[in-house]
Every structure is written in C-alpha cells, then in structure tokens.
Amino acid sequence: MFTIGPVTPGQPRRPLVEICTDSLDGSIAVEQAGADRVELCADLPLGGTTPSGGMMTAVCEALTLPVAVMIRPRAGDFLYSEGEREIMRRDIELAKQAGAAAIVLGLLTPDGQVHVAATRDLIERARPLEVTFHRAFDMSREPYEALRALIDLGIDRLLTSGQVADVSAGLALVSELVAAAGAQLSVMPGCGVQEHNAREIIEATGAREIHFSARERRDGGMTFRNPACAMGTPEVPGEFERDATSVDRIRALLVQLGG
C-alpha cells in the first residue's frame, strides 16, 4: 500500500495526485474521489484561466483539500503587459483572501525565457502560499535554462509535459528534469495523463506528483433546446452539454497508482 506523507520502512510513497477542474461540483468530486489537491481554473478547453473571486471562495470554503488557483488573465501566449500583470497581482490577493493553498502562474519574455523579474514580483505577492509554474515552461526555448531560473526563484512546483503536446512523448525530458531538480522543486508531469498510463509515467520519470484532468462530456439538463442558436465555437462544449470531473476516472487512476 502506498501512502501520502511520512513513509515508514517498507511502505512506498504514493505520488500526490492533483486534479484540475473548473467548477464547484468538479472540486467536490475531486475530494470525494480521494485525490490530494485541486487546481482550480476557468476555461479549461483554453488551457485554463483565472477563476472568478466567487468561484475561488466557494471552492475553498467547500473543501478540506488544498486548492491551487490558476492566475492567468487570458488565453494565448504568456507574454503579459504591465496592465495584465496588475490584474494578476489583484487576482493573487483574491486567491489569498479566499483561502487558497497555492497559486499557479507562468510568464515568459518575447524570446522564450522565464520572465524572472515579473515572476519574482508575483511570487513575493503570493507568499506564504506555494507557487506552481505551469506549462508556459513547455513554450520556453531552453528547458534547462528555464528550470535553473525557476529553482533560483524558489518556485515550489513545475507542471510540464516535457515540451511536447502529450507527456507520454516527453517522458525522457521530464525524467531528466526530475533528476536535475532533485529536492529543489517538484516536477509534476501533466497533459495526456490517463488512467491507463499514470503508473508508467511515474515509473519512467520518478516524479512525486502527477496532474490529471479526469474530464468527461455529459449531456446537459435542458429539456427545451433551440438547435438554431449557438453561443460558442465548435471547439468547446455546446449549450446542451458540459465537461465534468469524473469521480470514477480519478478513482481508477488512484487504483493504478496503488492508492
């Protein structure tokens, strides 16, 4: 049997499992399923943006699990204007007031380096919360240079797919990053993690944490449906369906990891 926390002799440690979700119901499902941390976002189909202050507060009040709040003012690249960075500062304050345990952010320069000065400013504003640097890292130009910058900044955790679209294809780099980081920060694989490959990813990389979305498409509850009207684009769920966090998928992943 695996365990989270202090390990007794002969008892291996189960990797910490973080689940990203964009709703109160999804966050409650994460806790019910037995995972270890929620990453709370809005706009998951766009890679995640900052949830509303109301969402932050409702989720933190509802859960006993630690909640990591995404701080990303818009979709798209990770090059932010001063105005956008001011929004990020204010959202960090909202996350702290809501009771978040961590924030999640990522800022780059035009030439693909970690934006050290801007990141340091936001880290200082976030403390004493933990800070995760998200997959903006996967858009950086040189992974080891970026890793060194994050270590020097005192980042607690790095979420990465190994600079490719699916972590299963990036296991070699993720493994090298885990080894290079050692105890200086936690390298957490994500993007493409599934129930059937989670154990392989952990065994191949030596990571101590793993990130999973556990989403499934569900039919909405509307009985009247107007087929002539649509509010969004074809890439996101329509008005009569939604993506939801699956308790069963989380539990299946935990079983594979020995939890």
Cα gap 149→134, rounded to integer Å: 14
Return the pLDDT at 223. 85
Cα gap 139→160, rounded to integer Å: 10
Helix residue ranges, H only, the chain = 24-33, 53-62, 82-98, 116-126, 143-153, 171-181, 198-205, 247-256
Dihedral sign for Cα 171, 172, 174, 178, please. Answer: positive
Question: Cβ–Cβ contacts within 10 Å for residue 9, how many?
Answer: 4
DSSP 225: -
Q: Are 44 and 20 in contact (CB under 8 A)?
A: yes
Q: What is the distance of C-alpha 79 from the center of its chain?
A: 19
Edge to edge, what strands does the sheet with 157-160 contain? 186-189, 157-160, 130-133, 102-105, 67-70, 37-40, 16-21, 209-212
Length of the chain: 259
- Amino acid code (one letter) for 237: P
Return the pLDDT at 259. 66
Percent of the chain with pLDDT over 90: 82
Class of residue 210 by CB neighbours under 10 A (exposed 0-12, middle 13-18, buried 19+): buried
Q: How much is the mean pLDDT over the chain?
A: 92
**Adjacent-strand bridge partners of 108:** 114
Query: Which has the minimum average pLDDT: 13-22, 109-118, 130-139?
Result: 13-22
Cα gap 214→67, rounded to integer Å: 16
Q: Which domains can be identified in the chain, with CATH numbers?
A: 16-220 (3.20.20.380)
Return the pLDDT at 234. 67
In terms of phi and psi (left: phi > 0; alpha: psi -120 to 50; beta: otherwise), the region of 206 is left
Strand (E) or helix (H) holding 210: strand 209-212
Return the pLDDT at 8. 37
Using alpha carbons only, give the angle 163, 164, 168 rounded to the nearest 5 degrees: 115
- How do residues 61-99 score in pLDDT, each as one tens digit? 999 999 999 999 999 999 999 999 999 999 999 999 999
- How do residues 147-165 score in pLDDT, each as one tens digit? 999 999 999 999 999 999 9
Percent of the chain with pLDDT over 70: 93
Using alpha carbons only, give the angle 203, 206, 210 rounded to the nearest 5 degrees: 85
Q: Is the model more confident about 215 or about 51?
A: 51
Report pTM. Answer: 0.90
3-class SS of residue 186: strand
